[in-house]
Structure 1
């Protein structure tokens, strides 16, 4: 019986091990994208540059100016909806 179960159990362990790694890499991928959005936010040093950059990426003028002048830090802005709209996941997949 042990000889029959060993390959089966190894297969299940390998299957679930891959599933856990996949989740870890997805989490890491999300963190890296947020970090890159923060770098972009820092590169746009002034509010006018941030507003113009957000408008160039498709945000309307009112939302771009509200976001550019919100006074929050790069990490907060990197996780905010306006940066996700301007730089979606597909932007970083290329």
Structure 2
């Protein structure tokens, strides 16, 4: 699952977030249906968290520069201090994908975009 999702959510693919989500919509329901009977709700929840973290880093990578990150984060309602902290570490996508970005791009944001869930 992770290897396949890594291929679909590469940060160097040159695709929009909507295109990536469309690919996930095609893949994830089938995978979930196959493993649906597994007694591992914790694993499914952790895979969901990991996927949203991948999508957050993809979002940061698409904003590219610190100025763009700062502007977009401010538009999402992040405080100036937190937006500056993320924008100043613009090339550390995976690290910036936690913490403040979880509040800026919550689960509800990805639900509105139509990202399927496993859990």
Determine whether 1:92 maps to 2:78.
no
TM-score normalised by the chain length of structure 1: 0.72
Aligned length: 77
Root mean square deviation of aligned Cα: 2.0
Of Structure 1 and Structure 2, which has the larger fraction of its residues in helix?
A: 1
TM-score normalised by the chain length of structure 2: 0.58
Runs of at least 4 residues off by over 6 Å: none
Partner residue in 2 for 1:62: 81
Higher alpha-carbon Rg: 1
Consecutive unaligned residues of structure 2, counting only runs of 5 or more, are: 1-36, 113-119
The equivalent position to 1:83 in structure 2, one of 83, 101, 106, is 101
Where relative contact order (Cα < 8 A, 6+ residues apart) is larger, the structure is: 2
Consecutive unaligned residues of structure 1, counting only runs of 5 or more, are: 1-17
